[in-house]
């Protein structure tokens, strides 16, 4: 069980997604989902949302494995679920598959493949939470890991067409961008570090609504080549969840910044094994 993400539904319930199977990359891996009801404080039974066989049938192409589901809810209530599928090689051979639901996830459309790269459309992966632009288009944080490893931002129309793609970093050391929106013009992107030690969360920022991004730099946050997640609170503070360790993923911490991401303070230790 790996790579959980969630989206709030219109009635306050929360639908979570993850991928699970006998092992990562196995042919029996599927995307699963369950709904949390805050009134009863209980989770529903989990259900299968997408699997390798159904995705292969819809795309009319061979599917070796799948993973990394992330969801987004549009203003009209439509849910979009994006996940990676591999036809060739390992995760670096991934492309992004999308399905939609107009019933809060009770049923889903057939899968379709996003065309994001001119190089046989491989090595675009998804992990970070999507968000809306003011014109109704969707921003999907993605990353590339064939030869180079770097973050990108896709802009997708409400009908699902790719409008453009913006590079967030370069080189071979940054993956899985998380976009933290401060206001309509300012945002901070934090990325997993897969380069040389010392491994630190990598950051880039914009103050012109994403037209330009600052050169990526290492932050003070330790990152043992593991995913991160975060959110901006209404009062402007930033919360980040990460494996705050030099190596290994046995410690999971919650950290907070009150100065826009310059300095951080640990506020909770979820797990330390």
pLDDT (0 to 100) of residue 201:
98
Number of neighbouring beta carbons within 10 Å of residue 259: 10
Residue 102 DSSP SS3: coil
Identify the CA nearest to 169 among candidates 128, 197, 119: 128
Contacts of 64 by beta carbon, 8 Å cutoff, 6+ apart: 27, 52, 85, 86, 87, 88
> For 118-130, what is each residue's pLDDT tens digit?
778 889 999 999 9
Which of 218, 2, 151 shows the shortest CA–CA distance to 140? 151
Q: Which residues contact 259 (CB under 8 A, 6 or more apart)?
A: none
User: How many other CB atoms are found less than 10 A from the CB of residue 121?
Assistant: 15
| pLDDT tens string 196-209 | 999 999 999 999 99
**Consecutive 10-residue runs of the chain (273 residues): their mean pLDDT?**
94 96 95 97 97 96 95 93 93 94 96 89 94 93 94 93 95 97 96 95 97 96 96 97 94 97 96 89
pLDDT in tens, 152-167: 999 999 888 999 999 9
Q: What does the pLDDT read at residue 188?
A: 98
Per-residue pLDDT tens digits for 73-105: 998 999 999 999 999 889 999 999 999 999 999
The answer for residues whose C-beta is within 8 angstroms of residue 129's C-beta and 6 or more apart is 5, 70, 72, 141, 178, 179, 229
Q: Is the peptide bond before 198 cis (omega within 30 degrees of 0)?
A: yes
For the chain, the C-alpha Rg in angstroms (whole number) is 18
């Amino acid at each position: 069980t790996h790579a959980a993400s969630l989206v709030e539904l219109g009635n306050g319930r929360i639908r979570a997604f993850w991928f699970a199977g006998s092992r990562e990359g196995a042919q029996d891996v599927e995307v699963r989902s369950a709904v949390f009801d805050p009134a009863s404080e209980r989770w529903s039974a989990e259900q299968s949302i997408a699997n390798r066989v159904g995705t292969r049938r819809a795309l009319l192409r061979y599917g070796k494995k799948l993973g990394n589901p992330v969801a987004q809810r549009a203003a009209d209530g439509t849910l979009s679920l994006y996940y990676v599928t591999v036809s060739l090689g390992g995760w670096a051979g991934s492309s992004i598959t999308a399905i939609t639901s107009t019933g809060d996830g009770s049923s889903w459309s057939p899968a379709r493949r996003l065309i994001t790269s001119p190089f046989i459309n491989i090595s675009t992966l998804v992990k970070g939470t999507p968000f809306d632009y003011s014109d109704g288009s969707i921003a999907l944080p993605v990353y590339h890991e064939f030869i180079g490893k770097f973050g990108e931002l896709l802009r997708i129309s409400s009908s699902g067409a790719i409008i453009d793609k913006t590079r967030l970093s370069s080189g071979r050391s940054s993956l899985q961008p998380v976009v933290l929106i401060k206001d309509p013009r300012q945002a901070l992107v934090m990325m997993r570090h897969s380069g040389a030690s010392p491994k630190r969360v990598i950051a880039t920022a914009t103050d012109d609504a994403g037209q330009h991004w600052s050169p990526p730099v290492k932050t003070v946050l330790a990152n043992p080549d593991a995913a991160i997640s975060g959110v901006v609170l209404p009062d402007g503070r930033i919360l980040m969840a990460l494996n705050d360790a030099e190596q290994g993923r046995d410690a999971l911490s919650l950290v907070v910044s009150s100065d826009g991401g310059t300095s951080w303070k640990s506020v909770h230790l979820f797990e330390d094994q």
